[in-house]
Amino acid sequence: MTKAMLSFSRSISCVVTVVAIAFATNAPAQEPSSSVPMADSDNPVQRGLYLATAGNCMACHTKEGGEPFAGGIAFHTDFGIIYSTNITSDDTAGIGGWTEDQFIRAMHEGKAADGSNLYPAFPYPSFTKVSEQDLKDLFAFLESVAPSTYSPPENEMGFPFNQRGLMGVWNALYLENERFELDESQTEQWNRGAYLVQGLGHCGTCHTPRNALGGLQSEQALSGGTYNDKVDEDKIRPWSAVNLTSASDGLAAWSEDDLTSYLKTGHGGMGGTFGPMNEVITMSTSQLSESDVRAMAVYLKSLPPIERAPQHKMSDADFRAGELLYTIHCGTCHLPTGLGDPSIGPAVAGSSVVQAEDPASLINVIIYGAEVPAPSPPGAWKTMEAFGDKLDDDEIALLSTYLRSNWGNRGGAVTEADVGKQR
């Protein structure tokens, strides 16, 4: 969240990784796959493994080339760099010396074992909704993870943001220390989806706008946000997390089946995964049961629309110029209608990425291309190439504005300055 105190730098991700990464435990290593243990296993460690997968703990607590769950991933915020912690079973460097109650307090209240405040780059404002029993199972799994003595770097935060005591005020303002409550008016499937999305999935951490102090704007929940992540090997830039409500600039054009397929395979009728979402898909949602992924889709599709993106009308001259750029560089895959060629490229008409209030992700994919998982999901479209060396900033701004103004799309104008920020 570019103006948020404690935004995710790597969303729920670090760098694009392979689909399968082994969980190193004291028992034989286990690989998240279609055989990931289910939440209803009789073994608490197995249930905890499934919950760790749902929470995507590996992605945020395992740096590239590092030991599993040993921490060290840098979260770039507007207020400094925060490094993820070691959550292995090591008694000193990790959480092996923690009690179950201390772990639950950390997840529900954002308190370390010594009582000091944690920073909400660790998304305890979402984890506070997770049931105590699920947290006991998650703790049982983490206690089985092979110990690592690795100590992540010290946080790089200037005064006053390096004063953890101030987080007490932040918590008083923004932490709702409450567990998830079933909505009796909804189905069991809907409630399961809501529990996963609001809790361990912590989708709102990136997909909800934040205020100047980094607090989630709850009245705009899941209507889109902004966070920092890599755009290539050595650049951190903003990305926009799309509107997940049923708004026209959100998931209105997505069917429940589209969304289920996207979360399970990385490929849906209205879009495919790229950039920061790759790890969310490959390391978390694709490893969950079909019923859980479907439940998440059911819940998300039920959200009432929150329209964020404004309607913009281009001048006739700009529209023609944008149309020419689109025809030359985009029309073959996305078609003049914007509906996309089913075998080559997705629709841009009705696209939540195209219409996001913050155009950062749209600009990124035009400049840097679409970095997608390897191997590509079944049925995935042709990988979009990078146009950053082919188009000037003014051309990318014009093309982006055309995409956001045509076919009934909603989205504000994109300026050269907007493009320049992403270079």
Name residue 422's amino acid.
Answer: Q
What element of type H or E holds 257?
A: helix 256-265
- pLDDT of 309 reads 87
Count of other CB atoms within 10 angstroms of residue 333: 17
Phi, psi angle pair for 408, to nearest 5°: 80, 5
Distance CA 119, CA 130 (A): 18
Tokens of 129: 């909704």
- pLDDT of 256 reads 97
DSSP for 42-60? S-HHHHHHHHHHHTTHHHH
Beta-carbon contacts of residue 357 (< 8 Å; ≥ 6 apart): 224, 240, 243, 249, 308, 309, 411, 412
Q: List the chain domain ranges.
A: 44-302, 316-422
- pLDDT of 38 reads 61
Q: Give the residue from 195, 374, 379 showing the smallest Cα distance to 300.
A: 195
What count of residues does the chain have?
A: 423
Distance CA 68, CA 23 (A): 7
- pLDDT of 302 reads 98
Distance CA 410, CA 159 (A): 40
Beta-carbon contacts of residue 177 (< 8 Å; ≥ 6 apart): 108, 109, 128
Distance CA 25, CA 22 (A): 9
pTM for the whole thing? 0.89
- pLDDT of 39 reads 62
Name residue 133's amino acid.
Answer: Q
Name residue 315's amino acid.
Answer: S
Highest CATH level, class, for 316-422? mainly alpha
Q: What is the pLDDT along the chain (423 residues), one digit of tens a residue?
A: 333 333 333 333 332 332 233 333 333 333 333 345 566 778 999 999 999 999 999 999 999 999 999 999 999 987 899 999 999 999 999 999 999 999 999 999 999 999 999 999 999 999 999 999 999 999 999 999 999 999 999 999 999 999 999 999 999 999 999 999 999 999 999 999 999 999 999 999 999 999 999 999 999 999 999 999 999 888 999 999 999 999 999 999 999 999 999 999 999 989 999 999 999 999 999 999 999 999 999 999 999 999 998 889 999 999 999 999 999 999 999 999 999 999 899 999 999 999 999 999 999 999 999 998 877 777 788 899 999 999 999 999 999 999 999 999 999 999 999 999 999
Torsion of the alpha carbons at 31, 257, 251 and 395, rounded to the nearest 10: 80
Rounded alpha-carbon distances, angstroms, from residue 391 to 188, 316, 322, 325, 383: 50, 21, 12, 9, 18
Beta partners for residue 216, in sequence order: 210
- pLDDT of 37 reads 52
Q: Which residue has the tokens 């009728």?
A: 269
Q: Give the residue from 381, 274, 366 showing the smallest Cα distance to 16.
A: 274
Pairing of strands 225-232, 80-83: unpaired
